[in-house]
A and B are shown apart, each in its own frame.
Chain A
Amino acid sequence: MASEKSSNAKTSHKFQRSGFSYEQLIRFFFASNAGLTIVILTLIIAFLLKEGLGFFPGYRRDLETYRIAGLEFVDISRNNLTSHEQLTSLLNRAYYAEVNGKSARELKRTEEASALYNAFTDQVGPTRDLIINNPQARTDANAGMKAALLGNYEKQREKALLKPINTPHLTAKEREGLLESLRTRPPEATEDPPLVAALAQEFVAAQQKHAAPLQEFRTVIDDFESAGFDLGSIIMEMTESVTVTKEQLQTADILEKDRKTLLAAASGEKDPVERERLLADARAALADKPDVETPMEALLERKPECARLHEALKTASSDALKKIPSRLSDPDARRLLGAARKAWPQFIADLEAAPKKISAWKHTDPVPLSDAILSFLTGKKWVTGGEWQDFYGILPLAVGSLMIAMIALSISIPVSISAAIYVNHFAKPREQALVKPVIEFIQAIPSVVLGFVGILVFGTILREISVMDAFQWVPGFPIEERLNIFTAGCLLALMSIPTIFSLAEDALNNVPSAYAEASEALGASHVQTAFRVMIPASFSGILAAILLGFGRVIGETMVVLLVAGNRIKIPDFSEGLGAFFQPSHTLTGIIAQELGEVPLGSVHYRALFVVGIVLFAVVLGINATAHHFVNRAKK
Chain B
Amino acid sequence: MNDHQEKPMESRTSATAVDIRNLSFNYGSTQALKNIGLNLKRNEVTAFIGPSGCGKSTLLRCINRMNDEIAGTRITQGEILIDDINIYDRSVDVVKLRRQVGMVFQKSNPFPSSIYDNVAYGLRMRGERDSAVLDQSVQESLESAALWDEVKDRLQESALGLSGGQQQRLCIARTIAVKPTIVLMDEPCSALDPIATAKVEDLIWKLKHDYTFIIVTHNMHQAARVSDKTAFFYMGELVEFSDTSRMFSNPSVKKTEEYITGRFG
Footprint of B on A, CB under 8 Å?
A: 428-429, 512, 514-525, 528, 532-533, 536-537
B42 nearest CB across to chain A (Å): 20
In the A-B complex, the 10 residue pairs with the smallest Cβ-Cβ separation, listed nearest first, are A523-B99, A514-B109, A522-B122, A521-B103, A524-B125, A523-B98, A518-B109, A525-B95, A429-B71, A528-B125
Query: CB-CB < 8 A to B105: which residues of A?
Result: 514, 517-518, 521
| A–B pairs, 27, beta carbons within 8 Å | A428-B71, A429-B71, A512-B109, A514-B105, A514-B107, A515-B111, A515-B112, A517-B66, A517-B105, A517-B109, A518-B109, A518-B110, A518-B111, A518-B174, A521-B64, A521-B175, A522-B102, A522-B174, A523-B95, A523-B96, A524-B95, A524-B125, A525-B125, A528-B125, A532-B124, A536-B112, A537-B112
Interface pair A522/B109, CB less than 8 Å apart: no
- Complexed CA–CA distance, A523 and B105 (Å): 14
A515 near B113 with CB under 8 A, answer no
| B71 & A522 in contact (Cβ 8 Å cutoff) | no
At the interface, yes or no: B121 with Cβ under 8 Å from chain A? yes
- Let me know if B126 is at the binding interface, CB within 8 A: yes
Nearest A residue to B104 by beta-carbon distance? A521
Instruction: Known pairs A514-B109, A522-B122; list 6 more (Cβ under 8 Å).
Output: A516-B69, A519-B111, A521-B175, A523-B95, A523-B178, A537-B111
Query: Which residues of the other chain, B, contact A537 by a CB distance below 8 angstroms?
Result: 111-112
Give chain A's interface secondary structure class. Answer: helix
Instruction: Report A-chain residues with C-beta under 8 Å of the C-beta of B95.
Output: 523-525
Note all chain A residues with C-beta closer than 8 A to B110. Answer: 518
Determine if A522 and B69 form an interchain contact, defined as CB atoms under 8 angstroms apart.
Answer: no
Q: Are B122 and A524 in contact (CB under 8 A)?
A: yes
In this complex, which of B107, B125, B174 has the most chain A Cβ atoms within 10 angstroms of its Cβ?
B125
State how many residues of chain B have any CB contact under 8 Å with chain A: 26
Contacts of B238 in A (CB 8 A): none
CB distance from A433 to the nearest CB of B (A): 11
Cβ–Cβ contact A517 & B69, under 8 A: yes
Q: Are B69 and A532 in contact (CB under 8 A)?
A: no
| B121 pairs with A522, CB closer than 8 A | yes
Residues of A within 8 A of B112 (CB): 515, 536-537
The residue that A522 contacts in the complex, of B96, B107, B113, B178, with Cβ under 8 A, is B178
B interface vs A, CB < 8 Å?
64, 66, 69, 71, 95-96, 98-99, 102-103, 105, 107, 109-113, 121-122, 124-126, 171, 174-175, 178
The complex places the Cα of A516 from the Cα of B171 at a distance, in Å, of 14
Q: Which of A520, A528, A536 contacts B66 (CB 8 A)?
A: A520
Distance in Å: Cβ of B105 to nearest Cβ of chain A: 7
Measured between beta carbons, the chain B residues less than 8 angstroms from A512 are 109
Q: Are A520 and B98 in contact (CB under 8 A)?
A: yes
CA distance A428 to B71 in the complex (A): 8
A519 partner residues in chain B, CB cutoff 8 A: 111, 121, 125
Chain A residues with CB under 8 A of B113: 536
Contact A532 B66 (CB under 8 A): no
Tell me which residues across on chain A come within 8 A of B98, comparing CB atoms.
Answer: 520-523
Min Cβ gap A134→B in Å is: 79
Residue of A nearest to B98 (CB): A523
> With the chains together, A528 CA to B122 CA distance in Å?
11
* Contact partners of B122 in chain A: CB under 8 A: 522-524
Residue of A nearest to B184 (CB): A521
If the complex has contacts A515-B109, A517-B69, are A523 and B171 also in contact, measured as CB distance less than 8 A?
Answer: no
Asked whether B69 lies within 8 Å of A520 as measured between CB atoms, the reply is yes
A536 cross-chain contacts in B, Cβ below 8 A:
112-113
Q: CB-nearest residue of chain A relative to B171? A: A518
Q: Closest chain A residue to B72 by CB distance?
A: A429
Shortest beta-carbon distance from A517 to chain B in Å: 7
State A519–B103 Cα separation when bound (angstroms). 10
- Give CA–CA (A524, B171) in the complex, Å: 15
Cα A330 to Cα B171 with chains together (Å): 72
Q: How far is the CB of B93 from chain A (nearest CB, A)?
A: 9
Among A514, A523, A525, A536, residue most surrounded by chain B Cβ atoms (within 10 Å): A523
CB closest residue in chain B, given A429: B71
Chain B residues, CB < 8 A from A528: 125
Minimum CB–CB distance for A430 against chain B, Å? 9
Q: How far is the CA of A523 from the CA of B182 in the complex (A)?
A: 13
A528 to B121, CA, bound (A): 11
Q: Which residue of A lies closest to B122 (CB)?
A: A522
Cα distance A523–B71 in the bound complex, in angstroms: 20
Kindly name the residue among B64, B96, B102, B111 whose own CB sees the greatest number of chain A CB atoms within 10 A. B111
What is the CA–CA distance of A323 and B13 in the complex, to the nearest angstrom?
101
Nearest CB in chain B to that of A511: its residue: B112
> Which among B96, B103, B109, B171 has the highest number of chain A CB atoms within 10 Å?
B109
Closest to A537 in B: B112
Output the least CB separation between B216 and chain A (Å).
15
B142 to chain A, nearest CB (A): 16
A522 to B95, CA, bound (A): 8
In whole angstroms, what is the CA distance A402 to B227 when docked? 66
Contacts of A517 in B (CB 8 A): 66, 69, 105, 109
Q: How far is the CA of A528 from the CA of B124 in the complex (A)?
A: 10
B97 CB, min distance to chain A CBs, angstroms = 8
Of all chain B residues, the one with the shortest Cβ separation from A428 is: B71
B40 vs chain A, min Cβ distance (A):
18
Closest to A524 in B: B125
Contact at A522–B66, with CB atoms within 8 Å? no
A614 CB to nearest B CB, Å? 38
Nearest CB to that of B71 among chain A residues? A429
Q: Which residue of B lies closest to A516 (CB)?
A: B69
CB distance from B38 to the nearest CB of A (A): 21
Q: How many Å from the CB of B109 to the closest CB on chain A?
A: 4
Bound-state CA distance A524–B175 (Å) is 12
For A524, list chain B residues within 8 Å (CB).
95, 121-122, 125
CB neighbours (8 Å) of B96 from chain A are 523
The answer for the CA separation of A522 and B178 in the assembled complex, in Å, is 8
CB distance from A434 to the nearest CB of B (A): 15
CB pair B66–A521 under 8 Å, yes or no, is yes
Contact of A523 among B69, B107, B126 (CB under 8 A): B126
Q: How many Å lie between the Cα of A95 and that of B107 in the bound state? A: 80
Q: Which residue of A lies closest to B93 (CB)?
A: A525
Q: In the bound complex, what is the Cα–Cα distance between A524 and B112 (angstroms)? A: 16
- A619 CA to B112 CA, complexed, in Å: 32
Contacts of A428 in B (CB 8 A): 71
Q: Nearest-CB distance from A348 to chain B (Å)?
A: 59
- Across the two chains, which residue of chain B brings its CB closest to A528? B125
Distance in angstroms between the alpha carbons of A173 and B105 in the assembled complex: 89
User: Given the complex of chains A and B, what is the CA–CA distance between A523 and B122 in angstroms?
Assistant: 7
Q: Let me know if B102 and A521 touch, CB within 8 A.
A: yes
Is the CB–CB distance between A523 and B111 below 8 Å? no
Cβ of A520: which chain B residues have Cβ within 8 Å of it? Answer: 66, 69, 98
User: In the docked arrangement, what's the CA distance between A428 and B68, Å?
Assistant: 12
User: Given the complex of chains A and B, what is the CA–CA distance between A533 and B121 in angstroms?
Assistant: 10
Nearest-CB distance from A407 to chain B (Å)?
34
Within the complex, the shortest CB–CB distance from A519 to chain B, in Å, comes to 7
A522 to B64, CA, bound (A): 10
Q: When chains A and B are docked, how far (Å) is the Cα of A515 from the Cα of B111?
A: 6
- Whether the pair B121, A532 counts as a contact (CB closer than 8 A) is yes
A532 engages B125 (CB within 8 Å):
yes
